[in-house]
Structure 1
Amino acid sequence: MIPWLPFPIVSLALCALWLLLNQTLDPANLLFGAALGIAAPLLSRRLQPLGYPRLHAPLTAVRLIAVATVEIVRSCFNVCYVILFRDFSTVKSQFIRIPLDLHDPYGLAMLACLINMTPGTVLVEIFPDQHEMSLHVFDLHDETWWVEMIKTRYEQPLIAIFETAPV
């Protein structure tokens, strides 16, 4: 039996988003928002062939989002500075490979999203058989710093969130 509200928070968020977009609380929009909140999670179940991920450490997820936000803003300023004020002959763009300990497909997808959202970095490819990823860095100064930064700031929290079972 399929529960009517498999994800009640998502359903409430969809209903609230519908009401905010329409800027009204009339009965028709309330009814449609509720229907949307119920139907969307039920209809999107087939889009999750591996099942829905379980987050084991929600506080770690909040901290990871905060760290990623700070890193994105900092990288925006760094990339702007490089583009506007530095001589391009001194910019060292390079591909690097980073070994991975993360194996969960949802964690790897989240890692790819976090890296690609950060200006100056692009995740090129994940090699699952070698447990590595290829990353392009716009202005590479120290490869070991990048490897350690990705592993400590992003990969370790993602392992705690997606792979480590609660104690």
Structure 2
Amino acid sequence: MSRILRPFLPYPLLSVGLAVTWLLLNAPLSPGSAVLALLVGLTVPAVMRALRPPAVRVRAPSTLARLLVVVLYDMVRSNIDVGRIILGLRRGTRRTGFVAIPLDLREPFGLAVLSIILTATPGTLWVRYDSGTGRLLLHVLDYTDGDEWVRRVKDRYERPLMQIFARGDSA
């Protein structure tokens, strides 16, 4: 991109993506929504430039692919489990509960992805993270054994995310 446009469009793909998303969410197209889409597309990337987010480097693309498969499987399975609970097809008593999970993951991007995974999976919700202690508080719709939840989060999500977002030696 030319040096002339760089100050106005620091992240051109983000600008286009935001403007198109704005237009799609505010259909039908009108002159006002087009102007607002343009403003959003130009303003948000300018703010992003001021924040100067560090570049993300994915270290293990094959691990990322495996994690994606695990997350999709867990989401389908959780949807079925939550559906059974809601429809009353699950035998026994259901208990909700909170689980404190000690995390070794400290990389901000890895933590952000973990929060998305856990909150997007039906039946679990990321409640709080204490960066001082590395403890995550997770709410679980169908609480069984806290130790099982700790192992599940650490083995299925945290370890792969630590490999994917590992810091390089040159950092």
- The CA distance in 2 between the partners of 1:80 and 1:109, in whole Å, is 27
Q: Tell me the secondary structure at the aligned position of residue 99 of structure 2.
A: strand
Query: Which residue is equivalent to 1:141?
Result: 144
Does residue 56 (structure 1) correspond to residue 57 (structure 2)? The answer is: yes
Q: Tell me the secondary structure at the aligned position of residue 56 of structure 1.
A: coil
Compared CA separation, residues 4 and 162, structure 1 to 2 (3 A): farther
Q: Which amino acid aligns with 2:123?
A: G
Query: Which residue is equivalent to 2:154?
Result: 151
Q: TM-score under structure 2 normalisation?
A: 0.68
Structure 2: 5+ residue stretches without partners: none
Compared CA separation, residues 36 and 122, structure 1 to 2 (3 A): closer
Structure 1: 5+ residue stretches without partners: none
Aligned residues: 160
**What percent of counterpart residues are identical?**
35
- The CA distance in 2 between the partners of 1:162 and 1:107, in whole Å, is 6
Compared CA separation, residues 158 and 4, structure 1 to 2 (3 A): farther
- The CA distance in 1 between the partners of 2:22 and 2:150, in whole Å, is 42
Residue 56 of structure 1 contacts residue 160 of structure 1 at CA under 8 Å; is this kept in 2? Answer: no
Compared CA separation, residues 35 and 116, structure 1 to 2 (3 A): closer
Larger proportion of helix: 1
CA positional deviation for 1:34: 6.5
Match of 2:122 among 113, 119, 125: 119
CA RMSD of aligned residues (A): 3.6
CA positional deviation for 1:109: 3.0
Q: Tell me the secondary structure at the aligned position of residue 85 of structure 1.
A: coil
